[in-house]
Structure 1
Amino acid sequence: MCGQFYIMLHGKKQTIYPNDPYKIMIYDQNQFTYQKANWGFKINKRSIINARSETLLTKPTFIELKHCLIMANGYYEWDAAKMKTDIHLKDHSYLYMAGLYRYQKDRYEYTIVTTKANASVDQIHDRMPLILTKEEAECWVREQETEQLLNVIPPSLQYEQEMSQIHLDV
């Protein structure tokens, strides 16, 4: 679930992959700042890129982590036919994806919080990032109302298959 996301820079998509560095938004010393962090926690040589909202408050791996936001214009998912699908808001504005981060071995690392897919994307995949409104995102980063935010139903999203992935038999 959510193995790639992208940001629009100068009219082009810049895809972010697991282990790539990316600037996440954190709340530190009473102010919002951006921090360069790598996507994925290294645990036993394995990279944990997603954290399920349903078990976030009980799994020892995630209990002590701090909240962050990952801002993106969209993310990719693969459907049952293995077609790469671009999922985004109708106007392609920012998605505020809930995340968790830590400082480990001289670097910041983060993971994206996932939830059950809403009706707009459940035919593509059964999971999706926990996407928050701007107001909810501010509460998330400040670590307020965590339990309620973990149960938010993300907004309706649009999707389209990536044309470069479509192969036609001629």
Structure 2
Amino acid sequence: MHMCGRFSLELDESKEIWDIVRAVEEKHKAIKTGEIYPSNDVPVIYSPDSDDIDYDAMTLGFHGFKKGQLLINARSETVTEKKTFAKAFKSTRCVFPTTGFYKWEANKEKFLFTEQDSNAVYLAGFYKRFEDGNRSIILTTAANESMQQVHDRMPVILPKEFIDQWILDEDFAESFIKQRMPQLVIQRI
């Protein structure tokens, strides 16, 4: 069962995403682009101080319960009840700027999912400070009609205009994870 952990950062496809990646690189280091995997450092939009919105690089995946295990997804339906996730979801939400995400069908065929009317796809998540720095996780929800033929889960996708609210407003975030997700464009890779 493949979870939602691989996404694309194709900078030539989206000026919007290119600008975010460049802003992160100015502060830190080069960001891997192309196909992104769990454990990579990825650009995120977040709030360092509960007021301002900023960009940073964070490792994709929380440390798991066993050595070497990575937790890359949290189910939106249970995120507020799970000890591992509840506090971070409540207080340190973030957004992953992408140009789409990948899923595999049971027969190992790979698909790219993108938004119908934008080259940018914003995935909702949250982060937590570990001894080795901030680590981030992607929220998932039940797949809608555009995803169901490939997978039964999909990332929580945020419209660009809700990014600040997602990060700064806990009530908004709790209500947003119950919303229907947009219909996506599916491409066999």
Q: TM-score, normalised by structure 2?
A: 0.80
Structure 1 residues 11 and 88 mapped into 2: Cα distance closer, same or farther (>3 Å)?
Answer: closer
> Could you list the runs of 5+ residues in structure 2 that have no partner in the other structure?
15-32
Give the secondary-structure state (helix, strand or coil) at the position aligned to 1:160: strand
Indicate if the aligned counterparts of 2:5 and 2:138 stay in contact, CA closer than 8 A. Answer: no
Amino acid at match of 1:95: V
Deviations 1:95-151 (A, max 9, x none): 111111011114110000000011111111010000011233221111332221110
Indicate if the aligned counterparts of 1:39 and 1:49 stay in contact, CA closer than 8 A. Answer: yes
- Quote the Cα distance in structure 1 between the aligned partners of 2:86 and 2:13: 38
Q: Show structure 1 runs of 4+ deviating over 4 A.
A: none
Aligned partner of 1:167 in structure 2 is: none
- Quote the Cα distance in structure 2 between the aligned partners of 1:130 and 1:71: 12
- Quote the Cα distance in structure 1 between the aligned partners of 2:44 and 2:62: 14
Paired residue for 2:53, among 24, 32, 48?
32
- Quote the Cα distance in structure 2 between the aligned partners of 1:15 and 1:143: 31
Deviations 1:48-78 (A, max 9, x none): 0000000100000001111000010100000
Aligned partner of 1:19 in structure 2 is: 39
Structure 1 residues 21 and 129 mapped into 2: Cα distance closer, same or farther (>3 Å)?
Answer: same
Aligned partner of 2:174 in structure 1 is: 147
Paired residue for 1:54, among 52, 77, 84?
77
Indicate if the aligned counterparts of 2:13 and 2:119 stay in contact, CA closer than 8 A. Answer: no
1:9 CA displacement:
1.8
> Could you list the runs of 5+ residues in structure 1 that have no partner in the other structure?
163-170
Give the secondary-structure state (helix, strand or coil) at the position aligned to 1:71: strand
Give the secondary-structure state (helix, strand or coil) at the position aligned to 1:10: helix
- Quote the Cα distance in structure 2 between the aligned partners of 1:11 and 1:35: 21
Equivalent pairs counted in the alignment come to 162
Aligned partner of 1:165 in structure 2 is: none
Give the secondary-structure state (helix, strand or coil) at the position aligned to 1:140: helix
Residue identity over aligned pairs, in percent, reads: 34
Give the secondary-structure state (helix, strand or coil) at the position aligned to 2:164: helix
Aligned partner of 2:8 in structure 1 is: 6
Amino acid at match of 2:63: K
- Quote the Cα distance in structure 1 between the aligned partners of 2:183 and 2:55: 27
1:25 CA displacement:
0.6
* 1:90-105 mapped onto 2 (5 Å cutoff): 90-105=116-131
Give the secondary-structure state (helix, strand or coil) at the position aligned to 2:181: coil
Structure 1 residues 130 and 62 mapped into 2: Cα distance closer, same or farther (>3 Å)?
Answer: same
Paired residue for 2:62, among 6, 25, 41?
41
Paired residue for 2:184, among 128, 142, 157?
157
